[in-house]
Amino acid sequence: MPLGSLPWTVERIFPLALFQVGWLLWFGAVWTIGCAIASAADSPAQPYFDFERTAPFVAWMVPCYVSQDLAVLLVPFAFRDVRDYLPLATVMLVLGIVASTCFALFPMTLGFEGGSGVWAPLAATVGAPDPGAGGYAPSLHVAYMVVIAAALAPRLGPRAAPWLWAWAAAVAASTYYVHEHHLVDIATGAVLGMAGAAVLPVASRWVSTIRPRSTSPAGDAR
C-alpha cells in the first residue's frame, strides 16, 4: 500500500507508536549491554587501514548520518498496522542482537586521528560516556539502512527504490566521514543488512501464520 494512501488517524498511529516504544526499549537494552561489554575490554582490536586514520571529518555529512536514527524511529508509520510492521521489526531486532553479540565478543576501537564522531562530543558536554563506544562492527547504521530500504522499496514503487538505495549508500559513507565507523564496520554492516533483507520474506510468512489477515470486508477496512 503506498505511503500516501495510509490513513493518518489516531486509531492507526497510536498502536504503532506504542509498539515502537517497546521495540526501542528492547533494542536499547540489548545494544547498551553489547556496547558496555565491548568498551570495557582491556585490549580491543584495531581492524583498520593506516590511511583511515587520517580521513577528514566532513561536518556536512552529520545530518545524513543522523537521518538513519530518524528512519529507525519513524519507519513503523510507513506500515498499515503493527502486524504489517512486525516482520521488519522482528528482523531489525534480531540484527540488533547479532550485532550487539559481535560487539561483546569481538571488541574494537576507533583509530581516527581527529577523534571519534558525533555522539562522543555530545556526551562529553553533559559529562557522560560515549553511549556507542565499542559498538562498531558490524555497523548497525549500515545494516538497518539496508534492511529498511529493502522493506520500503516495494511499498514506495520503482521510482522511489533508487533514492532509497542512494540514501542507504550515503548513510554508509557518512558513518566513515563523521568518524563513527571504519571500513570493516561498514562492510560487515552491509553483509548483515543484506542477510536481514533476505530473511524479510520468511519473517512475513511467519507473521501470517500467527494470525492470518482477515479477508472479510470488516477486516479489509482495518
This prediction's pTM: 0.88
Residue 133 has pLDDT above 50, yes or no: yes
pLDDT at 212: 56
* Residue 215: pLDDT over 60: no
pLDDT for 219:
44
- 221 vs 35 pLDDT, higher one: 35
- Whole-number average pLDDT of the chain: 87
Would you state the pLDDT for residue 46?
86
DSSP string, 24-79: HHHHHHHHHHHHHHHHT-SS-B----GGGGGPPP-GGGHHHHHHHHHHHHHGGGGS
Q: How many domains would you assign to the chain?
A: 1
Predicted confidence (pLDDT) per residue in 86-106, tens digit: 999 999 999 999 999 999 999
pLDDT attached to residue 218: 42
**What is each CA distance from 99 to 92, 117, 147, in whole angstroms?**
10, 19, 14
Give the residue numbers spanning the domain of 33. Answer: 3-220
- The reported pLDDT for the residue numbered 217 is 41
Q: What pLDDT, on the 0 to 100 scale, is given for residue 210?
A: 74
Question: What value does the mean pLDDT take over residues 27-47?
Answer: 91
Q: Quick check: 114 pLDDT over 90?
A: no
Mean per-residue pLDDT for 211-215?
Answer: 53
